[in-house]
């Protein structure tokens, strides 16, 4: 699949926004149980402004992926069936509730009102993240994405970005929590590494589709592609297949692994073990995660192989090998009803 930069941009901005707000509000939420975890007002406001600006920039960036931008409002009409529609609704609602929470916090309104806005914004933010992940995980035509690992890994990446960003914030305002957020960042980055490895290993294990399955026909009458669907490039051959990306994937993916997981884990472990709480380490950890996540999302799109590429001879060669599957057990039934 061709990697859309606008969607990668939305992932990074929304991921940092929702992740950062999650930990910011979590510290405020614990105060309801008489825990001394509240961040200074200046720190909370800085975090909220950053989160609000990022989700706004993400929405603007994502609009470039639309063919008719003036019709973007129509996305809400498919809320009951489309994950893309749900993403748009939940993202917009998250940004609005985030603004209300920020205003209620700034003007020091009553605690019930503040936490009402905060809890609703938290829920909407993660519903937005889930909807975005499900856009890919529910795509039956790209087998690499069609797995629960896509959702788990996607949501965990938000926590990776958010915990590392909040770690840098605690260094300046609540240094006593550095150890806790070093552990949380280490935990989420480690989980992310495990999910990513599982995602790549799965690509070698999943059975590839055949033309029969693409046409929803049983395998007892195998079909062979005699000629490609077109001899020139068109929308299908450029948007659903990225030749240059396939050539670069083996070089970019290791770099994504190093920047997203190896470098952050090394910096976190070094700071944790030696007790050297240095802001430079935490800034580099977040920067490495940000750049690595950008490359990782690029690889995620390029790794996807849409089943329609079978018609154009662009699917991996093993996709044409006849394999046994559930389609052979499918019986043809003719009925007037």
What is the residue-level pLDDT of the chain in tens, covering all 337 positions? 888 899 999 999 999 999 999 999 999 999 999 999 989 999 999 999 999 999 999 988 887 766 666 666 676 777 888 898 999 899 999 999 999 999 999 999 999 999 999 999 999 999 999 999 999 999 988 989 999 999 999 999 999 999 999 999 999 999 999 999 999 999 999 999 999 999 999 988 887 777 777 777 777 777 777 777 677 788 888 888 888 888 899 999 999 999 999 999 999 999 999 989 999 999 999 999 999 999 999 999 999 988 888 877 777 765 434 333 433 444 444 444 4
Position 67 scores a pLDDT of 63
Position 224 scores a pLDDT of 74
Position 99 scores a pLDDT of 97
Alpha carbon of residue 163 to chain centroid: 15
Position 317 scores a pLDDT of 62
Position 72 scores a pLDDT of 65
Predicted structure pTM score: 0.88
Position 310 scores a pLDDT of 81
Position 218 scores a pLDDT of 73
């Amino acid at each position: 699949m061709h990697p859309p930069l606008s969607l990668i941009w939305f992932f990074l901005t929304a991921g940092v926004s929702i992740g950062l707000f999650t930990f910011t509000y979590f510290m405020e939420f614990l105060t309801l149980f008489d825990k001394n975890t509240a961040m200074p007002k200046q720190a909370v406001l800085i975090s909220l402004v950053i989160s609000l600006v990022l989700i706004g920039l993400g929405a603007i960036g994502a609009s470039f992926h639309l063919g008719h931008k003036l019709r973007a409002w129509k996305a809400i009409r498919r809320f009951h069936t489309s994950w893309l529609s749900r993403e748009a609704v939940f993202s917009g609602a998250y940004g609005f509730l985030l603004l209300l929470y920020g205003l209620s916090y700034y003007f020091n309104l009553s605690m019930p009102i503040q936490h009402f806005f905060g809890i609703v914004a938290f829920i909407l933010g993660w519903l937005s993240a889930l909807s975005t992940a499900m856009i890919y995980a529910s795509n039956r035509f790209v087998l690499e994405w069609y797995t629960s690992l896509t959702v788990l890994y996607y949501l965990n990446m938000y926590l990776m970005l958010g915990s590392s960003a909040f770690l840098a914030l605690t260094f300046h305002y609540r240094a006593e929590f550095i150890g806790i957020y070093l552990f949380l960042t280490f935990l989420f980055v480690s989980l992310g590494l495990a999910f990513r490895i599982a995602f790549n290993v799965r690509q070698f294990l999943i059975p590839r589709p055949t033309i029969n399955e693409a046409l929803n026909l049983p395998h007892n009458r195998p079909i062979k592609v005699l000629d490609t669907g077109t001899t020139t490039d068109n929308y299908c051959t450029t948007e659903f297949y990225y030749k240059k990306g396939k050539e670069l994937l083996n070089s970019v993916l290791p770099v994504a692994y190093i920047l997203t997981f190896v470098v952050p884990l090394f910096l976190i472990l070094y700071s944790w073990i030696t007790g050297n709480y240095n802001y430079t380490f935490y800034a580099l950890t977040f920067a490495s995660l940000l750049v690595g996540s950008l490359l990782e999302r690029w690889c995620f799109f390029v790794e996807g192989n849409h089943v329609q590429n079978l018609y154009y001879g662009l699917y991996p060669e093993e996709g044409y090998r006849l394999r046994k599957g559930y389609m052979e057990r499918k019986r043809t039934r003719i009925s007037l009803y």
